[in-house]
Amino acid sequence: MENKAIISLRDVTFTYEGGINAISNVNTTIQQGEFVVVLGPNGAGKSTLCYLLSGIVPHIYGGRRRGLVSVVGLDPWDQPLYVTAQHCGVLMQDPEVQLFMPTLKTELAFGPSNLGVPREKIFERSQEALSLVRLEGFEEHNPRDLSGGQKQRAALASVLTMQPQVLILDEPTSQLDPAGRWEVGEAIERLKKTGELTIVMTTHETEEILHLADQVLVLEGGKTVLHGSPKFVFSQSQQLEKVGVKTPSLISFQTRLFFSQDKYVHDIKNANINLTINDVSLRVQQAVELGKIEVREVSLDRQSVASENAPVILEAKSLTVKYPGPPSVTALDGINTKIRKGEMIGIVGQNGSGKSTLVKCLVGLLKPFDGEVLFRGENIRKYSVGEMARRVGLVLQNPDYQLFTTSCHDEVQFGLKNIDVPEDEMEKLVAEALQTVGLFEEADLFPFRLSFGDRRKLAVAATMALNPEVLILDEPTTAQDHKGRYQLADLAKKFHDEKIGTVIMITHDVDLVANYADRLMVLHNGKILLDGATADVFSQEMELKKSFVVPPVAAQLARKLTSIGVMPTAMTLDELYKILVPKQSNRKEG
């Protein structure tokens, strides 16, 4: 295939109406068939870049642009959207904004039929697209009834029926569970292998794209910070960390063990970097045999505030929840579990496994079909919703569902007023809560003037001000960049350590669980599949596969390296660094 530039940006600067400068002097050239990944913190300009390439800017969002943009030889700025859409397809973060027809068959036909494509050709294109995304047999299904991963693949198929030459993917997996991410990732990989599509994808998930990317572009504040091959870009771990982009764990691990930072950065073209668990583990074993790495016996200190004798603070007994149909769905099927004071628990499982339903039962928002929930041994039915809020606090995945007053101060004050806290004590609690989350200076600011991450912190402040004994976080890392990824978890850890509070985190982020949770619960089809110490649960890889949960990279490496004395219970890179220590001579390896 003859390589030719299919996308070109030259000194591109874009400013939104209102004077917000989103892109500054960006330059890049993308060849036909390349897979280009755009990384950067929230607000870096990633989505704006997608809008510029697809024509969403200026036809939907206005502003001023300088510089040259060429997509398949056309400038999207000068072309109507229906023309650009024939060459450049877009898959957004939320698939539901792109799905609106009553059946998948009509969804896939909608785009090409508007372009006057003959009926036979539409059918042919639809079958090809369904085959690529593995949705054959779903033609008569309503897209709204599909799972998260299926919806995203359906939206992708609807874009493919337009037969674009360029595909823009704006964080396509950020809202999906492990199964959905795998499904969409596999579909993207199959598309790349055809070699026909040029793909530009924004994401925060560096691990998922490591083996796919041809180029990586890193933005910060609308400017290019790094640009080049994955091998080169991900070698700049210090610069990536400063910007707020995660270096893939396998590369961080090899950087630490096999290269001095200066040598690695300057001699990256000659560096031997492995990109699979098997290759990296084999390399470590060889280094140990050659005496370049020492394997140390260390104690992995994972002290928990909770003990086996700690009082049970929440208990679910034979908890069963059924949602009416048709068809009816059993969301929880006889759940029994005890949660003790001071525990920090992670709950994982794919969408539909029962995680959110369980949490709704624990806070009293949902009445079970059968069974009961006890708080300190008493049935929670005796408490009002307000009384439960003082005992069990819930921070939702989307903070905007919890924010409705005109200032950050009033937001935190609202709950305290409703439980009749005295005025003088109330002001003290409001100030303390805002100080804890770092929003004291924004007390008078309208909540929706805050960033998404700060709005989540405000929701935490409003919840923690009520001084609950249990804090529940629903997907604390969703839509967060690497820098802000663990801000809520850090706040929860502070609550846990300082107040001996109990923390429950619903998440798909296994690294979050490995770093913070001392206990891990895996739900599958409304039942508890696994429940125990986090390291023990992560070691049961065959059982985890049932729920599409993949252990952290560090845990997978530890299991592969048990033959050389590495403890199989290691879960984080920091723990591996304590066990595997490079000898001084190894620092000169190239």
Q: Please check whether the domain covering 312-404+462-545 is classified as CATH 3.40.50.300.
A: yes
| Nearest-angstrom CA–CA distance, 55 and 75 | 9
Domain ranges of the chain: 5-228, 312-404+462-545, 405-461
Instruction: List the structure tokens of 300.
Output: 């992995």
At residue 98, the 3 state secondary structure works out as coil
Q: Within 13 Å, how many C-alpha atoms sit on residue 135's CB side?
A: 32
Instruction: List the structure tokens of 467.
Output: 């001084």
Write down the H helix ranges in 290-333: none
Positions in the chain whose pLDDT score sits under 50? 1, 261-269, 586-590
For residue 325, the model assigns a pLDDT of 66
Burial letters for 284-302: b for 16+ Cβ neighbours within 10 Å, e otherwise?
bbebbeeebbeeeeeeeee
* CATH domain 5-228 topology: Rossmann fold (3.40.50)
The structure's pTM equals 0.80
**Residues 504-524 pLDDT 10s:** 999 888 999 999 999 999 999
**Residues 30-42 pLDDT 10s:** 999 999 999 998 8
109 in Cβ contact with 161 (< 8 Å): yes
**Residues 293-308 pLDDT 10s:** 999 988 877 666 566 7
Q: In 403-501, at which residue ranges do the beta strands (DSSP E only) sit?
A: 470-474
Q: In 2-61, at which residue ranges do the beta strands (DSSP E only) sit?
A: 5-16, 21-31, 35-39
Query: To the nearest 10°, the Cα dihedral for 37, 41, 47, 52?
Result: -80
**Residues 66-77 pLDDT 10s:** 999 999 999 999
| Nearest-angstrom CA–CA distance, 390 and 160 | 50
313 in Cβ contact with 502 (< 8 Å): yes
Sheet strands side by side (includes 392-395): 392-395, 470-474, 502-506, 344-348, 519-524, 527-533
484 in Cβ contact with 204 (< 8 Å): no
| Nearest-angstrom CA–CA distance, 113 and 433 | 55
Are 5-228 and 312-404+462-545 in the same CATH fold? yes
Name, in order, each residue with C-beta under 8 angstroms of 121's C-beta and a sequence gap of 6 or more. 112
